[in-house]
Amino acid sequence: MEKVLLQRAETPGYTGSLADYEAHGGYQGLVKALREYTPDQLIEVVKKSGLRGRGGAGFPAGMKWGFIPKAPGPKYLCCNADESEPGTFKDRQLIEQDPHQLIEGILIACYAVGIPTAYIYCRGEFAHGARVLIRALDEARAKGYVGRNILGSGANIEVHLHRGAGAYICGEETGLIESLEGKRGQPRLKPPFPAVEGLYRKPTVVNNVETLSNLPHIVLRGAEWFAGIGTPKSTGPRLFSVSGHVRRPGNYELPINVSLRELIFTHAGGMRDGRRLKAVIPGGSSAPVLTDQHLDVTMDFEALAAAGTMGGSGGVIVMDETTCMARVAEIVSRFYAHESCGQCTQCREGTAWLHKILARIERGGGRPGDLETILDACDNMKGKTICVLSDAAAMPIESYLKYFRDEFEQHIRERACPLRGVADF
Amino acid sequence: MFSDETIQTFERIVARYPVKRSALIPILHEVQGRLGYLTPEAMVEVARYLGLHPVEVAETASFYDLLNLRPVGKHQIFFCHNLSCTLLGAERILAHVQKTLGIGTGETTPDGLFTLKRMECLASCGTAPVMQVNGEFYENLTEAKVDEILDGLRRRG
């Protein structure tokens, strides 16, 4: 497939400056949007394109915009640039290498929904990315793309950069909003959804970096072009971040319904050192694991859901036969225990206990009944909390036990990790 | 306790938001950049500046991994220990860093030069293992590469 989002970024010599961006057709989508479409028509175009959120939930972007009340009054757009889902590194590339593509997408979204103020909530650890965005915003403001009466259209849109300070939960949209309000990033109970009561209790759109970066292309090339890629329900190209035991890790932009096999073996170069594939996490660490039995699954939202997992953030972590799944479970559970914001008991206690028990099993201190305790804890963590971090912590652990239970039982029986010393792990 | 120039920076930040408290985290980043960590006195001053109670500043600050409530070394090393990095040897290289610096994670060298922290996924999994030093990425780490980076930082002092 011809590249779309990464087309400029991966052109040799492309710097991402405004001059470079304009020389490669940049801001023509914004020009077309302002001149040829009313805001309502633009929302229709995005609905027709089938664009779904690329941050994790896969919610249709046009529908999300449609929930914003039409009545006048303050409204906000938050660009979710808090990329922190383990295994995901695509937004960072989009931000660092083609910042104007994102800014153009933000401006198109703001124009479509009638929003005068946008904040880019940039992950605190992205110091370089934040500098790149600030420079790009200054360039865009100086050239009249951002600010008052944009390109003589009468539209006023201001875009600000806001740096976070290191908390995975701020990628959850209401956690992000709380954080942007200067508070702890603890998610809010929904409803009301942000479209009704978001930032400063005003209607707010929260869209991911990759989602927004698609907009200039959809406006320029049309909804039909975008909808013609992928499947009827999962459309467009998607960035897949591939990491782990593959020969060529990296971001790959492919039709969203590429097969897992093609992604790993054709694009990412296959397995390192001639080893066998054992397990794959297909959509960031919150996604349930798949095995070598699932390689023909396609990566669209529906096919992955049918396979018992999810497309999530597009982070694909590939593991070979030397990988100890109890160790994987220990690392993944440690992450959620660290990142739980602590406000819901099921999540605060559940994530901590999962990690404690899994670490004990991996180190040879597992006890009979531990696996039942883990599954019972997982069951009590799902669907019971303010946000889905708790579910995201439980689902992968359940899946490791579903496909690799023998390995966990062997740890407990032999009071040791059977793979210790096999890999550098 | 803040200079006129610092206050001007604060004012530029506050101007971006319709509600002053939104400027809190960006202002704490600025303060930390100047002082190295958020001293109790600085948090009281920030609270006064934004019209908040000092406890509101402390409760926000204490939530975030990147905001330091205690002194840290001159060079902060954030070492990723999440899955993709660990699959490619992060723990072996982290052990080498600990041995070279003579400290554990969460600790600062006695000369105050280095603080070493374990971090969750830094969004650089395609170039694992990775660490950040003072906010900049160092990727595809090996023991030799880490030695070179640490030597360079030591020479800079």
- Write down the ipTM of this complex: 0.97
Cα–Cα distance, A149 to B109 (Å, whole number): 54
Q: Which of A375, A243, A242 is nearest to A299 (CA)?
A: A242
Q: What is the fold, at CATH topology level, of the domain defined by A18-227?
A: Rossmann fold (3.40.50)
Of the candidates A160, A167, A331, the beta carbon closest to that of B82 is on A331
- From chain A, pick out residues whose CB is under 8 angstroms from the CB of B65: 124, 165-167
A319 to B87: CB separation less than 8 angstroms, yes or no:
yes
A125 to B89: CB separation less than 8 angstroms, yes or no:
no
Cα–Cα distance, A167 to B58 (Å, whole number): 16
* The pLDDT value given to residue A423: 59
Residue A211 touches chain B, beta carbons under 8 Å: no
State pTM to two decimals. Answer: 0.97
B135 to A127: CB separation less than 8 angstroms, yes or no:
yes
Could you tell me the residue ranges of all domains in chain A? Answer: 18-227, 237-320, 325-414
Cα–Cα distance, A116 to A148 (Å, whole number): 9
What Rg, from alpha-carbon coordinates, does chain B have? 18
The alpha carbon of residue A140 is apart from the nearest alpha carbon of chain B, in Å, by 17
Mean pLDDT estimate for chain A: 97
Q: Which of A138, A166, A336, A241 is nearest to B135 (CA)?
A: A166
Q: What is the pLDDT of residues A121-146, one digit of tens each?
A: 999 999 999 999 999 999 999 999 99
Q: Report residue B70: phi and psi, to 5°.
A: -135, 160
Instruction: Mark which residues 229-258 of A lie under 8 Å from B by CB.
Output: 241-245, 249-251
Classify burial at A12, counting beta carbons within 10 Å of its beta carbon; exposed 0-12, middle 13-18, buried 19 or more: exposed
Q: What is the pLDDT of residues A47-90, one digit of tens each?
A: 999 999 999 999 999 999 999 999 989 999 999 999 999 999 99
The alpha carbon of residue A47 is apart from the nearest alpha carbon of chain B, in Å, by 30
DSSP string spanning B19-37?
Answer: SGGGGHHHHHHHHHHHHSS
Cα–Cα distance, A365 to A411 (Å, whole number): 8
Residue A76 touches chain B, beta carbons under 8 Å: no
Q: What is the fold, at CATH topology level, of the domain defined by B4-61?
A: Arc Repressor Mutant, subunit A (1.10.10)
Whether the Cβ atoms of residue A419 and residue A324 lie closer than 8 Å to each other: yes
Classify burial at A260, counting beta carbons within 10 Å of its beta carbon; exposed 0-12, middle 13-18, buried 19 or more: buried
Q: How confident is the model at residue A424 (pLDDT cuts 50, 70, 90)?
A: low
Of the candidates A127, A184, A244, the beta carbon closest to that of B84 is on A244
Question: pLDDT of chain B along its 157 residues, tens only?
Answer: 899 999 999 999 999 999 999 999 999 999 999 999 999 999 999 999 999 999 999 999 999 999 999 999 999 999 999 999 999 999 999 999 999 999 999 999 999 999 999 999 999 999 999 999 999 999 999 999 999 999 999 998 8
Q: Report residue A340: phi and psi, to 5°.
A: -60, 130
| CATH architecture of the domain formed by A325-414 | Up-down Bundle (1.20)
Give the position of tokens 């801001």.
A27
Give the position of tokens 């479209």.
A195
SS3 state at A6: coil
Could you tell me the residue ranges of all domains in chain B? Answer: 4-61, 75-156
Residue A96 touches chain B, beta carbons under 8 Å: no
Q: What is the fold, at CATH topology level, of the domain defined by B75-156?
A: Glutaredoxin (3.40.30)
Q: What is the fold, at CATH topology level, of the domain defined by A237-320?
A: Ubiquitin-like (UB roll) (3.10.20)
User: Is A325-414 the same fold as A237-320?
Assistant: no
Q: Which of A268, A266, A293 is nearest to A279 (CA)?
A: A293
